[in-house]
Chain A
Amino acid sequence: MNIPDLVSGELTASGARDGDSVRLSFSGNADARVDRELEAFLGKVHAEILRDPASEVIVDIRALEFMNSSCFKGFITWIVQVRRMDPKSRYRIRFLSTSKHPWQKRSLHAISYFGGELIVIESDN
């Protein structure tokens, strides 16, 4: 992928192409220091997929200790962008989460409800 890793504050994010899918990995702490950069990173991922389509984006947040509401908004904005695509071109967003960080289950429930069929949640428990 032509997207540079995001390393800012206590957050690291990276993306890699894997055949027909894209895998994003997040680790650290997503707080107010990085919300704009995170939203920009997700925007670049979306733009990249518009250029070179994928059927699914795997979002691995198992190493993400915390995400605040302004970073959470970045994911909401991204989901809205996907929803506005032609239905034939839309891609799924599959979150990989862990019970080690209980906020993930609660926040991903809200994201799943928001994104409907676009969202798939997997947990390690």
Chain B
Amino acid sequence: MVNDRRIPAESGGIEALPASFAIRFSPSSHLISIVRRFVHSFYGKVLDDAELASQLALATHELLENAVKYGTTNEAGLAVTVAELDDGFSITVAIRNRAEEEDIAEARRLIDALAGAADPFAYYQELMHEAAERVDGSGLGIARIAAETGMTLEAAIVDDELEIRARTTFKPRRST
């Protein structure tokens, strides 16, 4: 159960929380960019934090493209959830889609490697070197989220679908 709460306006100009949403659609490249722009604009407004909104948009885009590339159906679910914590908010971008077992295993391997890496940025650099030699795809999308946004990643199977979640926390700025 998500426990959303409205953040008082006096805490920093945030206009409207709760601010969670979920959609299920057939994510073409064109639609992915539209959804990314929505996430960027919407969370830029309600969180009043352009940097964080940009990070959420990047995670949304990369995860949705991942779903297109590795999905076995033309459907994917996107959920962005803002949940209250004791000292702020947790924000999760989750993408769900059906995928082949081997691709699920590869996604989990990569996410585990990122989680276990002493320095995710250094691990990302290793993957960038590998990407230069790849013919097909970059293999960078998931690692880019971790390294460039600092969001933590996890993978789970939910209703027979692979769900990849990128999570961060947010503390509203206090007005002076």
Contact = CB atoms under 8 A, between A and B. Distances in A.
B148 A102 contact: no
Contacts of B141: 68-70
B54 interface: yes
**What is the size category of the interface that chain B forms with chain A?**
20 to 34
B117 to A, nearest CB: 15
22 contacts: A31-B33, A32-B68, A33-B30, A35-B138, A66-B61, A69-B138, A70-B65, A70-B138, A70-B141, A72-B144, A73-B131, A73-B134, A73-B138, A76-B128, A76-B132, A79-B132, A102-B54, A103-B58, A107-B148, A110-B121, A110-B124, A110-B144
Interface in B118-172: 121, 124-125, 128-129, 131-132, 134, 137-138, 140-141, 144, 147-149
Contacts of B62: 68-69
A110 B147 contact: yes
Interface residues of A, number: 26
Interface of A: 9-10, 29, 31-33, 35, 66, 68-70, 72-73, 76-77, 79-80, 101-103, 106-107, 109-110, 113-114
Contacts of A31: 29, 32-33, 61, 65
A102 B29 contact: no
Give 9 nearest A-B pairs by CB, closest first: A73-B138, A102-B54, A69-B140, A106-B148, A80-B132, A69-B141, A33-B29, A32-B29, A70-B138
Interface of B: 29-30, 32-33, 36, 50-51, 54-55, 57-58, 61-62, 65, 68, 121, 124-125, 128-129, 131-132, 134, 137-138, 140-141, 144, 147-149
Given A66-B61, A70-B141, A73-B138, 7 more contacts: A31-B29, A31-B65, A66-B57, A72-B138, A103-B57, A107-B144, A113-B125
B interface, over-half SS = helix
B54 A101 contact: yes
B129 to A, nearest CB: 8
A114 B65 contact: no
A interface, over-half SS = helix
Contacts of A33: 29-30
